[in-house]
């Protein structure tokens, strides 16, 4: 075979990686087109890391030139070829086992055999690991940004409805009155932890494996910190075997997405139930209708949001299952680990944005909520608390209110209900309620708004407590937004740095 043989380029690529696997002929026979070729190839799915691979190639070539491993002229030719490959797009790549091989083939097609110098001092193993991290960090930031949007919507509506009284539930039964503000803040807290988990996953994802080579390092004098810096990574995955093998960051990202999605599914379920009860009306933008039943307005967007959680949990489980028991170092199983994580991150981001929109635009039925807030004797706990405050043992108070509850119904006015509690007190303790608290106090405790106002412990639903929580949540949101913006800027700066370096060669 001569240098101008059309197969030479492909063979050079084949040789460049996994050189321990054998010479050109062996490699060609093993991979050139058997029935398993399509099964082996990840080229189509690798579209998701096409841009990442170009960036990784550029940073690697710049570093090779700076270290004197390839000369500047060859670096310039390779970098120019990469621009051309980028302009042609993923669809124009030659056939290959994966995007790394295909891009290299495309470069060699343009530059000739010197193009194969691009793959000096690396392997597809560290290359693909770097590409996945490069791509995934963008996805994680996008999901984190969506959580910020949702938190903002939750806080805006919470502050608008800080004093809107509503029924609170446990076991889906009326439990205690609360407020829409307090309720929404509960989700702002959960989604806030989701942001933290995503940012934690981001920080562990954003480390460079490049330069680890196949797993065992390289004799070339590579500068791993330099490529890490050019690609915007905050440091290295230090051990070269860890660098090539580790995918725990994928499991962590999938789990962070699944946890967020689980939070969203609860919010979606609540809002579906509330709209069913007439407590809430979704805006038309977040509803759908029926093709046959003209009167229907269905909460489809929230049902889909709830549904995404199933896929996200499946993805987290699937990722861990794929990784379980893999021996060191690289195994081809890993090729199947990342594409679906990118996809689920995208789905969860979209579900988060939809949830934010649905929350921001829904109409809360303030009067219906207030009317229902006391249903099911939901103020019972507050009455028992009041009796205990007046000196009665809480267990006795609980017994009295439980006995009264049997005879109290939703139509009773406060005076009637208070009389029934008084009767129960006399039966159980032989004393009237007035031995402990005044009748006015009992009637106030039976009022849902007063009941809410009395529960002013830290994090509780009383207006002052909610105002404090709102302020704290807003401050946390601002801090997290700042962290996300800093990460974004650092990535944009790195992109500029790499572009500037590349321009000095091309
Ligand atoms: N497409 C492969 C992947 O995604 C690249 C690594 C191939 N390395 C190897 N030793 N066969 O994992």
| Residue 290 confidence (pLDDT) | 82
Same domain, yes or no: 341 and 297: yes
- 133 located within any domain: yes
Confidence label for 297 from pLDDT (cuts 50, 70 and 90): confident
Residue 6 predicted with pLDDT over 80: no
CA of 15 to the centre of ligand 1 (A): 14
Structural domain including 230 reads 126-371+472-495
* Residue 7 in this model has a pLDDT that exceeds 80: no
Give the Å distance between the CA of 128 and the centre of ligand 1.
Answer: 7
Closest CA to 144 of 189, 187, 200, 184: 200
44 in a structural domain: yes
- Closest to 136 (Cα-Cα) out of 310, 342, 441: 342
What pLDDT, on a 0 to 100 scale, did the predictor assign at position 322?
Answer: 98
Ligand 1 center from residue 125 Cα (angstroms)? 6
Q: Find the 289 Cα to ligand 1 centroid distance in Å.
A: 47
147 lines ligand 1 (CB under 6 A): no
Query: Are 437 and 354 within one domain?
Result: no
Task: Clarify whether residues 293 and 273 are in a common domain.
Answer: yes
What's the CA gap between 99 and 121, in Å, rounded?
18
Give the model's pLDDT for residue 184. 98
Is residue 229 domain-shared with residue 268, that is, in the same domain? Answer: yes
Q: Which residues are catalytic?
A: 171, 290
> What pLDDT does residue 289 have?
85
If you take atom 1 of ligand 1, which residue's CA is the nearest one? 98
pLDDT at 296: 83
Considering the domain architecture, whether residues 192 and 72 belong to the same structural domain is answered as no
SS (H, E, C) 301-341: HHHHHHHHHHHHHHHHHHHHHHHCCCCCCCCHHHHHCCHHH
pLDDT of 333 > 90? The answer is: yes
Where are any strands of DSSP class E within 84-217?
Answer: 165-170, 173-179
Do 433 and 385 share a structural domain?
A: yes
Mean pLDDT computed over 240-258: 98
Residue 504 resides in a domain: no
Cα 344 from Cα 347, distance rounded (Å): 5
What's the rounded mean pLDDT across residues 112-116? 96
- Which class for 66: exposed (0-12), middle (13-18), buried (19 or more C-beta within 10 A)? middle
More confident site: 436 or 9: 436
Do 186 and 324 have their domain in common? yes
Please state the rounded mean pLDDT for residues 101-118: 96
Tell whether 23 and 115 lie within a shared domain: yes
**Residue pLDDT, tens place only, 409-461:** 988 998 999 999 999 999 999 999 999 999 999 999 999 999 999 999 999 99
Contacts 24+ apart (CB under 8 A), 413-422: 414/442, 414/443, 414/444, 414/446, 414/447, 415/443, 417/377, 417/446, 418/442, 418/443, 418/446, 421/383
What's the rounded Cα separation, in Å, for the pair 360 and 343? Answer: 26
End-of-domain residue from the set 120, 142, 164: 120
Choose the final residue of a domain: 120, 138, 161: 120
209, part of any domain: yes
pLDDT, residue 32, reads 63
pLDDT-based confidence at residue 34 (cuts at 50, 70, 90): confident
Residue 502: inside a domain, yes or no? no
Helix (H, G, I), strand (E, B) or coil at 168: strand
**Residue 326 scores a pLDDT above 80:** yes
How many domains are there within the chain?
A: 3
* CATH code for the domain in which residue 287 is found: 1.20.200.10
Instruction: Assess whether 255 and 174 both reside in one domain.
Output: yes
Lowest model confidence (mean pLDDT) among 80-94, 240-254, 420-434: 420-434
Ligand 1 contact, 48 CB (< 6 A): no
Give the closest residue (by CA) to ligand 1 atom 12. Answer: 335
Six-digit token string for 144? 């984190």
Nearest CA to ligand 1 atom 11: 332
Supply the pLDDT for residue 31: 58
pLDDT for 59 equals 98
Dihedral of CA atoms 4, 7, 9, 14 in degrees, nearest 10, equals -150
Q: Looking at the whole model, is its pTM more than 0.75?
A: yes
Q: Is residue 340 a part of any domain in this protein?
A: yes
Same domain assignment for residues 84 and 191:
no
pLDDT for res 291 = 86
| DSSP E strand boundaries for 433-506 | none
What's the pLDDT tens digit per position in 141-187?
Answer: 999 999 999 999 999 999 999 999 999 999 999 999 999 999 999 99
pLDDT at residue 2 is higher than 80 = no
Is the Cβ atom of 215 under 6 angstroms away from ligand 1? no
Top pLDDT among 238 and 35 is at 238
Q: Domain for residue 505, yes or no?
A: no
Contact 194, 147 (CB under 8 A): yes
115 pLDDT more than 60: yes
- The pLDDT, as a whole number, for residue 327 is 97
**What interhelical angle do 248-277 and 124-160 show, nearest 10?**
30
* pLDDT band, residue 33 (cuts 50/70/90): low
In the beta sheet, which residues pair with residue 178? 166
Average confidence (pLDDT) over 327-345: 97
Ligand 1 in reach of 125 Cβ (< 6 A): yes
Residue 480 has pLDDT above 70, yes or no: yes
Domain endpoint, select from 55, 85, 120 = 120
CATH of the domain at 112: 1.10.275.10
- Do 199 and 348 have their domain in common? yes
Looking at residue 293, its pLDDT comes to 83
- Pair (390, 366) in one structural domain: no
228 lines ligand 1 (CB under 6 A): no
Residues in contact with 241: Cβ distance below 8 Å, sequence separation at least 6, in sequence order: 212, 215, 216, 328, 329
Rounded mean pLDDT, 125-144: 98
Domain-embedded: residue 4: no
- Give the range with max mean pLDDT: 36-40, 56-60, 292-296, 370-374: 56-60
């Amino acid at each position: 075979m001569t240098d101008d043989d059309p197969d030479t380029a492909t063979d050079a690529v084949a040789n460049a990686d996994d050189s321990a696997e054998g010479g050109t002929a062996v490699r060609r026979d093993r991979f050139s087109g058997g029935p398993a070729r399509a099964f082996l190839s990840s080229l189509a799915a690798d579209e998701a890391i096409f841009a990442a691979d170009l960036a990784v190639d550029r940073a690697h070539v710049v570093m090779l030139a700076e270290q004197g491993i390839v000369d500047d002229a060859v670096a310039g030719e390779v970098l120019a070829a990469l621009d051309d490959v980028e302009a042609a797009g993923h669809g124009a790549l030659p056939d290959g086992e994966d995007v790394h091989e295909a891009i290299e083939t495309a470069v060699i097609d343009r530059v000739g055999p010197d193009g194969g110098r691009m793959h000096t001092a690396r392997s597809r193993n560290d290359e693909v690991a770097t590409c996945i991290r490069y791509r995934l960090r963008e996805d994680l930031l996008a999901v984190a940004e969506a959580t910020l949007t949702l938190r903002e919507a939750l806080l805006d509506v919470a502050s608008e409805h800080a004093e809107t009284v509503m029924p609170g539930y446990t076991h889906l039964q009326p439990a205690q009155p609360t407020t829409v503000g307090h309720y929404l803040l509960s989700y702002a807290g959960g989604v806030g932890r989701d942001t933290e988990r995503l940012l934690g996953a981001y920080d562990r994802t954003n480390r460079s494996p490049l330069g680890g080579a196949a797993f065992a390092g390289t004799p070339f004098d590579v500068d791993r910190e330099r490529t890490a810096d050019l690609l915007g990574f905050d440091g290295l995955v230090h051990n070269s075997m860890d660098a090539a093998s580790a995918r725990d960051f994928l499991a962590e990202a999938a789990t962070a997405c699944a946890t967020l999605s689980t939070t969203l599914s609860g919010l979606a379920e609540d809002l579906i139930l509330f709209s069913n009860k007439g407590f809430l009306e979704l805006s038309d933008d977040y509803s759908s209708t029926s093709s046959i039943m003209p009167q229907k307005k269905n909460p489809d967007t929230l049902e889909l949001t709830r549904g995404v959680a199933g896929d996200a949990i499946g993805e987290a489980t699937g990722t861990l299952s794929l990784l379980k028991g893999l021996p060191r170092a690289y195994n081809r199983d890993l090729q199947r680990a990342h594409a679906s994580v990118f996809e689920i991150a995208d789905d969860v981001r979209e579900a988060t944005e939809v949830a934010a929109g649905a929350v921001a635009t829904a109409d809360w039925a303030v009067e219906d909520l207030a009317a229902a807030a006391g249903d099911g004797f939901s103020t019972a706990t507050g009455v028992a608390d009041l009796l205990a405050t007046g000196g009665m043992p809480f267990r006795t108070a609980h017994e009295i209110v439980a006995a009264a509850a049997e005879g109290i119904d939703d139509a009773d006015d406060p005076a009637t209900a208070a009389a029934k509690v008084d009767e129960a007190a006399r039966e159980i303790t032989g004393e009237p309620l007035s031995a402990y608290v005044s009748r006015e106090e009992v009637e106030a405790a039976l009022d849902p708004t007063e009941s809410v106002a009395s529960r002013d412990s830290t994090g509780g639903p009383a207006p002052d407590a909610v105002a404090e929580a709102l302020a704290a949540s807003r401050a946390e949101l601002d801090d997290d937004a700042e962290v996300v913006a800093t990460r974004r800027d650092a990535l944009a700066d790195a992109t500029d740095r790499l572009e500037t370096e590349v321009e000095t060669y091309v």
